[in-house]
């Protein structure tokens, strides 16, 4: 099942976010094939204020295990994390689901 993770940084977290970012990227690399798409949410000035990840896990429990290891959560960069199941239909212009 695919999930959309939308996470907003806490106030004044840009410096911490940038310091933790290499571990965040390493953590995503530990789950090959699970990250469909990921990127930073930007404010009006183009500075990162959060993240969106589209991930594919067999169930919500496995996704939660991943989130429990997420450096942005462990280091309290992300203040508000929303998770919603979704149906990915198109990836890079190609049909991926129904």
E strands, 1-98, where? 2-9, 35-42, 48-56, 78-86, 90-91, 94-95
Specify the CATH class of 2-93 in words: alpha beta
Q: What average pLDDT does the segment 82-96 reach?
A: 90
Residues with Cβ within 8 Å of 24's Cβ and at least 6 positions away in sequence, in order, are 70, 71, 72
Locate 30 and state its tokens. 């530990």
- Please give the average per-residue pLDDT across 66-91, as a whole number: 96
Q: What is the tens place of the pLDDT at every residue in 19-47? A: 999 999 999 999 999 999 999 999 999 99
Domain locations in the chain as residue ranges:
2-93
Residue 66 CB neighbour total at 10 angstroms: 19
Nearest to 17 by CA among 56, 35, 55, 43: 43
């Amino acid at each position: 099942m695919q999930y959309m993770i939308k996470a907003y940084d806490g106030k004044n977290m840009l410096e911490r976010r940038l310091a933790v970012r290499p571990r965040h990227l390493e953590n995503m690399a530990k789950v090959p094939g699970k990250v469909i798409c990921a990127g930073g949410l930007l404010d009006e000035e183009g500075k990162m204020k959060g993240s969106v990840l589209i991930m594919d896990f067999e169930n919500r429990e496995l996704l939660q295990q991943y989130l429990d290891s997420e450096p942005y959560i462990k280091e309290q960069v992300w203040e508000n994390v929303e998770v919603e199941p979704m149906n990915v239909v198109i990836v890079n212009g190609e049909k991926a689901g129904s």
